[in-house]
Structure 1
Amino acid sequence: MPHPMTEQALRESRSFGVRRIPALRPLGWLAMGWRDLMRCPLPGLLHGLALALFGAALVALAHDRFWLLAGAFSGFLLVAPILATGLYAVSRSLARGDKPSARTAFRAWTPRDGRLIVFGLLLAFAGTGWVMTSASLITGFAPGKVNTPTDFIKFVVLADQGWLFEAWLALGAMLAAPVFASSVVAIPLLLDREVGVLGAVFTSWRVVLEHPAPMALWAGLLLGLTGLGMATGLLGLIVIAPWLAHASWHAYRDLVDSRGLPERL
């Protein structure tokens, strides 16, 4: 029998609608996200620069331990939705016709909303768990020390036993898929409306289950563009990270009809 809290969250999630979208609609989210970034570039570029600097610090601290960096950089994809909270606030402000600033983004980080804190902690646990799992898999089963990207290609991607890279990818996908499904619209929804964490998660799952093709395309775009940003020595993340954050806000607004919920001020 479902827990009363679960039943309440399910009723909450079903109290508003999920809109139908065409398969290629994610490309429109990218266009709208780029427009928001150009209209109010400073908060986004500051977020992107902070992420790039954090990545550079990771590289500096673990430059000769790629077994750790591989998990850390892929784990970034798990926690990225919560890191973009301030930029969701900027896009929300632009949609209202306001003139947002960097203060608009930073104000979203004030610890007055326990729901976002709870969700952020859950994503942090997921990211940490993946980093530890990835490091254990690589150090435990790679036939040689993986200290550099070349070592990773030699001993993991092209490993003689032929299963290590596949296992690494499969485990990553097993963790990333439910995290993506749970967060793809949940965090913008929590920022925008008064709804419980579990209700927001169930709504996110509804979106994914009802739109498998567009959401698969959206996941591929997020993964591909983030990978491109990392491949440019992290410099590309300065622009790509905020661009995707603003686009994610428009994904939420396109997919979720939340007009029946109280607006979060």
Structure 2
Amino acid sequence: MDKIVIQPGLHGIALPAIDRVADYSRPLLWLRQGWRDMQRTPLLSLGFGALFAALGYALVRFAWGGVQTGMTLTSGFLLVAPFLAVVFYDLSRQAEHHHAPRIAHILKPLRANGASIGFYALLLAFIFSVWERLSAIVVGLSVSGDQVSFAGFRALLAGSGQLGILLPYAAVGVLLAVLVFALSVVSLPMMLHRKADLVTALMTSLWVVRTNPLLMLEWALIIVALSVLGYATSFVAMVVVFPLIGHATWHVYRDLVER
């Protein structure tokens, strides 16, 4: 038996049972299931993947005239990605119920639980704004006026003081990324599927991470690796990577949260 059912104990909030999974090859299963969903809905999945990849490329390309804006948007794209991926969550939901995939169907669960999903979007926007301000402070304290451009900043990193600049920036970014990941593992798929309120969905997501820390670390590293691939190819690979992660995330929810 590769899983144990855990019932979270939280005063005043009724949370669903969580599965503790001991099979650390499970993320590969989620990716295979996500790939299968992409094959079921290739036009919609790759079409939205191309749209979001083009949006990400345009934002990052436009922003790299300045160090702080460019670094913030490059890393911040991953902070808001869980909300953008709502399209792929719902396409997988439709496929699970053997519905013909339609864009109009995506709007139904959004309307049915619009308040909670809207507050979730505001939460991500708030975290992104915090990241923007913190990154501005870190870069402002580390970079002089003649290094604000990307060329000047790149020249600075080639020198001996680069660790003193990158380490604080990376530390702040990693902390916020971990927070967003923990809050987002299953929360939005749960709000789509069960019409759960925001607090219940966020607490369930945190319990999933708490119950499966090593498995979730493995899943987070896979997401980071795939995202790096997307960035390294100037967002070309993101056309496939983004919908693949989105579809797979639906199966993370269905696998770890009891039905």
Deviation at 1:51, TM superposition (A): 1.6
Alpha-carbon distance in 2 for matches of 1:129, 1:58: 18
Quote the residue 2:12 is aligned against.
8
* Counterpart AA for 2:214: A
* Count of equivalent residues: 248
Quote the residue 1:53 is aligned against.
54
Alpha-carbon distance in 2 for matches of 1:48, 1:135: 30
Deviation at 1:134, TM superposition (A): 1.4
Deviation at 1:200, TM superposition (A): 1.0
Deviations 1:37-73 (A, max 9, x none): 1110122222212222222322443231132111112
Deviation at 1:110, TM superposition (A): 4.7
Quote the residue 1:262 is aligned against.
none
Alpha-carbon distance in 1 for matches of 2:71, 2:131: 10
Conserved 8 A contact 1:67-1:147: no
Alpha-carbon distance in 2 for matches of 1:157, 1:219: 30
* Counterpart AA for 2:20: R
Quote the residue 1:252 is aligned against.
253
From the superposition, tell whether residues 242 and 139 of structure 1 become closer, same or farther in structure 2 (CA, over 3 Å).
Answer: same
**1:190-209 alignment runs, 5 A limit:** 190-209=191-210
**1:1-265 alignment runs, 5 A limit:** 7-9=11-13, 12-13=14-15, 16-21=16-21, 22-105=23-106, 109-110=110-111, 113-143=114-144, 144-148=146-150, 151-156=152-157, 160=161, 162-257=163-258, 259=259
Conserved 8 A contact 1:183-1:204: yes
What stretches of structure 1 move > 2 A for 4+ residues in a row? 6-9, 59-63, 101-112, 150-159
Deviation at 1:139, TM superposition (A): 3.1
Alpha-carbon distance in 1 for matches of 2:155, 2:109: 44
Query: TM-score, length-normalised on structure 2?
Result: 0.87
Q: CA RMSD, aligned part only?
A: 2.1
Unaligned runs of 5+ residues in structure 2 are 1-9
Alpha-carbon distance in 2 for matches of 1:154, 1:240: 32
Deviation at 1:138, TM superposition (A): 1.4
Deviation at 1:103, TM superposition (A): 3.3
Query: TM-score, length-normalised on structure 1?
Result: 0.86
Deviation at 1:199, TM superposition (A): 1.1
Unaligned runs of 5+ residues in structure 1 are 1-5, 260-265
